[in-house]
């Protein structure tokens, strides 16, 4: 048989096996469309959250199941959907293609590449919405996730599987804290996902460039729903980011997801809900705005070995207005998360950066998410800072202070100065612990405030050049021997400085 005959035979065989006959499918008709929303008649059997296909090829998600119409959000170009168009059910809930190749890429919430680096090879499809792991599948959070920022790792430590909220007014350094955390994961094996919701594309471009420059992009995925995208994509973006992280968590790996920011996410959901004519509640948000964030953040956890291992740490970001922590969305998310890092505007403008308000910031996981050395050393700094805060306002009015009060104020000022850190310069945990010990031991008491920063850099240089073993020991454990070695190192350093 010649090759042409073989081809013809193959095609004939295919035609014979082809199913002909009449196929049946449930369809609907678009009765109203506009603002990224479509309302359809028919589709009696459609399920909530089911994917729909419009005649133009655009996809949508059914969100409102009413008595005579179905309301859906349109993913893709809403201008292609018109009144009278046919809509078909797909019978499926939204899934996104994910694979190892997603690392180092910038994508939209539907996993379409945005970085002009070509298509992304996917290994499997992940549901965008997934049920959070149950209680029995979880393990307590007791492994540290280092942010590389002294003020955070010492005062409000974050553990793997924790949800730690970063909250503050505009331009207080929230995204910088998140970026530094991603940079600090280099070499740890933790996969990072940065979800940009309603952000300026210029800002995301700057972030991408910084990550690439620092070599952090190779373990990071950026999910972008920019400010010019539809509210539907902004609504889906955090769930898509969580699905990407879950792909790696299902392989037993540790992951970090940053949602920047959930305030814009709530606004996008409010927009969709109002267009779908859902009844508005407080501040015109729909009644299930709490559930919007709780079901997202509950997916972050540390799983036990039986459930597959791995963890997903979440750093959601919320923007407040005029420092109001008691507003609706901030209080919602504060009640969901395992702590918050509060960044204050007046601290920022005083030059205290990162502008962490140690009094209002908290980590509900606490010391169990710290290395042993930091846990012992940081306890003292928290106490000294608390005393400093109490005395600081008092000192502005009192003229004559007793020696003890003056000493506390001086120590507190030096600790505050010592906790300042330049952006995009994360520090290893052992170096942080060594520096904080330097501050709390009184070694910095005789230094001028202006010299604290320079002394800190020299201390790190000294330690990395001559005390590598000490740093290694501190990163693993803490005991009297190490403490004595550190005291000795401080003495030698001070002698070197003269």
Q: Should residue 11 be labelled a site residue for other proteins when binding is judged by CB under 8 A?
A: yes
Q: Minimum Å distance from CB 43 to other proteins?
A: 7
Enumerate residues 62-91 that contact other proteins by CB under 8 A. 86, 88
What residues contact 201, with CB distance under 8 A and at least 6 apart?
Answer: 224, 226, 227, 228
Q: Minimum Å distance from CB 345 to other proteins?
A: 47
Q: Should residue 135 be labelled a site residue for other proteins when binding is judged by CB under 8 A?
A: no
Q: Kindly state the helix (H) or strand (E) to which residue 246 belongs, with its residue range.
A: helix 231-249
- Name the phi and psi angles at 314, rounded to 5: -115, 135
- The span from the CA of 424 to the CA of 458, in Å, is 19
Q: Choose the stretch contacting other proteins; rule: CB under 8 A; options: 14-22, 284-292, 341-349, 423-431.
A: 14-22
Q: Should residue 4 be labelled a site residue for other proteins when binding is judged by CB under 8 A?
A: no
Q: Is 171 labelled a binding residue?
A: yes
For other proteins, the binding residue among 27, 122, 274, 275 (CB under 8 A) is 27
For other proteins, the binding residue among 22, 136, 422, 450 (CB under 8 A) is 22
What are the tokens at 467? 């005390």
Identify whether the C-beta of residue 258 lies closer than 8 Å to the C-beta of residue 285: no
Q: Is the peptide bond before 354 cis (omega within 30 degrees of 0)?
A: yes
What are the tokens at 330? 């901030």
Q: Is 175 labelled a binding residue?
A: yes
Q: Should residue 41 be labelled a site residue for other proteins when binding is judged by CB under 8 A?
A: yes
- How many C-alpha atoms does 69 have within 13 Å on its Cβ side? 13
Name the one residue in this structure whose structure tokens are 């119409």: 69
For other proteins, the binding residue among 2, 3, 5, 21 (CB under 8 A) is 21
> Among residues 270, 364, 411, 414, which one is catalytic?
364
**Residues pairing with 255 in the sheet:** 191, 312
Q: Minimum Å distance from CB 27 to other proteins?
A: 4
293: helix, strand or coil: helix
- How many C-alpha atoms does 2 have within 13 Å on its Cβ side? 3
Q: Minimum Å distance from CB 88 to other proteins?
A: 7
Enumerate residues 334-363 that contact other proteins by CB under 8 A. none
Q: Is 172 labelled a binding residue?
A: yes
Q: Minimum Å distance from CB 172 to other proteins?
A: 47
Q: Is the peptide bond before 261 cis (omega within 30 degrees of 0)?
A: yes
Cα dihedral sign, 177-180-181-182: positive
**364 has catalytic annotation:** yes
Instruction: Name which of 128, 243, 147, 149 is nearest 190 in CA terms.
Output: 147
- The span from the CA of 180 to the CA of 211, in Å, is 10
Enumerate residues 148-177 that contact other proteins by CB under 8 A. none
Q: Minimum Å distance from CB 58 to other proteins?
A: 18
Calculate the CA dihedral of residues 86, 91, 93, 98 and round it to 10 degrees.
-100
Q: Is 13 labelled a binding residue?
A: no
Closer to other proteins by CB, 97 or 157: give it. 97
95: helix, strand or coil: strand
Q: Minimum Å distance from CB 62 to other proteins?
A: 14
- Give the binding-site size for other proteins (rule: CB under 8 A): 21
CA distance to 15, 89, 424, per residue, from 6 (Å): 14, 39, 64
Closer to other proteins by CB, 29 or 331: give it. 29
CA distance to 121, 199, 387, per residue, from 384 (Å): 53, 38, 5
Q: Choose the stretch contacting other proteins; rule: CB under 8 A; options: 37-45, 121-129, 308-316, 459-467.
A: 37-45
Q: Choose the stretch contacting other proteins; rule: CB under 8 A; options: 6-14, 359-367, 427-435, 472-480.
A: 6-14
Q: Is 146 labelled a binding residue?
A: no
Name the one residue in this structure whose structure tokens are 């930091």: 374
- The span from the CA of 226 to the CA of 197, in Å, is 6
Q: Should residue 3 be labelled a site residue for other proteins when binding is judged by CB under 8 A?
A: no
For other proteins, the binding residue among 1, 2, 3, 14 (CB under 8 A) is 14
Closer to other proteins by CB, 54 or 194: give it. 54
Q: Is 181 labelled a binding residue?
A: no
Q: Minimum Å distance from CB 23 to other proteins?
A: 5
For other proteins, the binding residue among 42, 226, 339, 354 (CB under 8 A) is 42
For other proteins, the binding residue among 1, 3, 5, 44 (CB under 8 A) is 44
For other proteins, the binding residue among 16, 19, 305, 480 (CB under 8 A) is 19
Beta strands in 337-469 (DSSP E): 339-343, 362-363
Q: Choose the stretch contacting other proteins; rule: CB under 8 A; options: 16-24, 170-178, 217-225, 444-452.
A: 16-24
Q: Is 169 labelled a binding residue?
A: yes
Instruction: Name which of 332, 302, 376 is nearest 145 in CA terms.
Output: 302
Name the one residue in this structure whose structure tokens are 């502008």: 355
- The span from the CA of 181 to the CA of 242, in Å, is 17
Residues in the annotated binding site: 168-175
What are the residues binding other proteins (CB under 8 A)? 10-11, 14-15, 18-28, 41-44, 86, 88
Binding-site residues for ATP, in ranges, read 168-175
Positions annotated as catalytic residues are: 364
């Amino acid at each position: 048989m010649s090759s042409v005959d073989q081809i013809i035979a193959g095609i004939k065989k295919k035609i014979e096996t082809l199913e002909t006959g009449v196929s049946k499918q449930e369809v609907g008709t678009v009765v109203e469309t506009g603002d990224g929303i479509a309302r359809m008649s028919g589709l009696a059997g459609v399920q909530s959250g089911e994917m729909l296909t419009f005649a133009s090829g655009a996809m949508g998600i059914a969100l409102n199941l009413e008595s005579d119409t179905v309301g859906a959000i349109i993913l893709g170009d809403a201008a292609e959907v018109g009144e009278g168009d046919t809509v078909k059910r797909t019978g499926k809930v939204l899934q996104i293609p994910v694979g190892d190749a997603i690392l180092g890429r910038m994508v939209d919430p539907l996993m379409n590449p945005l970085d002009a680096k070509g298509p992304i090879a996917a290994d499997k499809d992940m549901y965008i919405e997934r049920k959070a792991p149950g209680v029995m599948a979880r393990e307590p959070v007791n492994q540290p996730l280092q942010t590389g920022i002294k003020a955070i790792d010492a005062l409000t430590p974050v553990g793997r599987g924790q949800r730690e909220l970063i909250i503050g007014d505009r331009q207080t350094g929230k995204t910088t804290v998140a970026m530094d955390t991603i940079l600090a994961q280099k070499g740890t094996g933790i996969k990072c996902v940065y979800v940009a919701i309603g952000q300026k594309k210029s800002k995301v471009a700057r972030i991408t460039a910084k990550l690439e420059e620092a070599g952090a992009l190779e373990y990071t995925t950026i999910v972008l729903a920019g400010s010019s995208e539809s509210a539907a994509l902004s609504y889906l973006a955090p769930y898509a980011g969580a699905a990407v992280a879950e792909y790696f968590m299902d392989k037993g790996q540790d992951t970090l997801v940053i949602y920047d920011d959930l305030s814009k996410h709530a606004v996008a959901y409010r927009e969709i809900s109002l267009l779908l004519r859902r009844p508005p509640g407080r501040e015109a948000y729909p009644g299930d705005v709490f559930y919007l964030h709780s079901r997202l953040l509950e997916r972050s956890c540390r799983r036990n070995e039986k459930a597959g291992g791995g963890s997903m740490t979440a750093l959601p970001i919320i923007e407040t207005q005029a420092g109001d922590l008691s507003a609706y969305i901030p209080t919602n998310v504060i009640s969901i998360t395992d702590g918050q890092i509060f960044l204050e505007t007046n601290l920022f403008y005083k030059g205290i950066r990162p502008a962490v308000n140690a009094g209002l910031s908290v980590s509900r996981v606490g010391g169990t998410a710290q290395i042993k050395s930091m846990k012992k050393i940081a306890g003292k700094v928290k106490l000294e800072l608390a005393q400093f805060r109490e005395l600081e306002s008092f000192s502005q009015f009192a003229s004559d202070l007793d020696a003890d009060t003056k000493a506390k104020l001086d120590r507190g000022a030096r600790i505050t100065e010592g906790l300042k850190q330049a952006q995009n310069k994360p520090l290893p945990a052992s170096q942080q612990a060594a520096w904080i010990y330097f501050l709390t031991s009184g070694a910095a008491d005789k230094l001028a405030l202006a010299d604290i920063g320079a002394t800190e850099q020299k201390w790190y240089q000294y330690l990395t050049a001559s005390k590598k073993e000490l740093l290694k020991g501190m990163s693993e454990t803490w005991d009297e021997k190490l403490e004595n070695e550190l005291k000795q190192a401080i003495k030698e350093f001070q002698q070197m400085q003269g």
